[in-house]
């Protein structure tokens, strides 16, 4: 069961452009994490959002948790080649199976 759907699945943009990645679900999560993963390596935690409507910024990355805690977005401003990677969202389904559910992933390529 895929509780979290990410869009787009693939994204290729030029350096300096802005982009937004979406993570959507019909389920409520206690919290939601965003990770970035390089090929052959483990996911690296970027941020955890907990409160509905919460917005967190990490340099050029802005994360938002939906008011109902069912969805989230990641916005990158002025993308750089170093932003290239697989972006994953993961929801803490504490009330739904007591496990973390991962999104389908968004593969981002930033072209210099």
Partner 1 sequence: DAGVTQSPTHLIKTRGQQVTLRCSPKSGHDTVSWYQQALGQGPQFIFQYYEEEERQRGNFPDRFSGHQFPNYSSELNVNALLLGDSALYLCASSLSGRGSVRTQYFGPGTRLLVL
Contact residues for partner 1, defined by CB under 8 A: 6, 30-31, 33, 35, 40-45, 48, 50, 86, 88, 90, 92, 94, 97-105, 107
Which residue spans within 1-112 are E strands per DSSP? 5-7, 10-14, 19-24, 32-37, 44-49, 55-58, 61-65, 72-76, 85-93, 99-102, 106-111
Which of 40, 112 has the CB closer to partner 1? Answer: 40
35, 43 in Cβ contact below 8 A?
A: yes
With respect to partner 1, which residue has the nearer C-beta, 60 or 94?
A: 94
Q: How far apart are CA 20 and CA 28, in angstroms?
A: 21
Query: Least Å distance between CB 35 and partner 1?
Result: 7
Pick the closer one to partner 1 by CB: 50 or 78.
50
CB of 101 to partner 1, least distance (A): 7
Residue partners of 44: CB distance under 8 A and separation at least 6: 35, 36, 37, 38
> Which of 41/67 has CB closer to partner 1?
41
Whole-number minimum distance, CB 31 to partner 1, in Å?
A: 5
């Amino acid at each position: 069961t895929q509780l979290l759907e990410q869009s787009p699945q693939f994204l290729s943009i030029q350096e300096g452009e802005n982009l937004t990645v979406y993570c959507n679900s019909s389920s409520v999560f206690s919290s939601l994490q965003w990770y970035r993963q390089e090929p052959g390596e483990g996911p690296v935690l970027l941020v955890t959002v907990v409160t509905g409507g919460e917005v967190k910024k990490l340099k050029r990355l802005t994360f938002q948790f939906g008011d109902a805690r069912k969805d989230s977005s990641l916005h990158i401003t002025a993308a750089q080649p170093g932003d290239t990677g697989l972006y994953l969202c993961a929801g803490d389904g504490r009330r739904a199976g007591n496990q973390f559910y991962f999104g389908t992933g968004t593969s981002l390529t930033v072209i210099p």
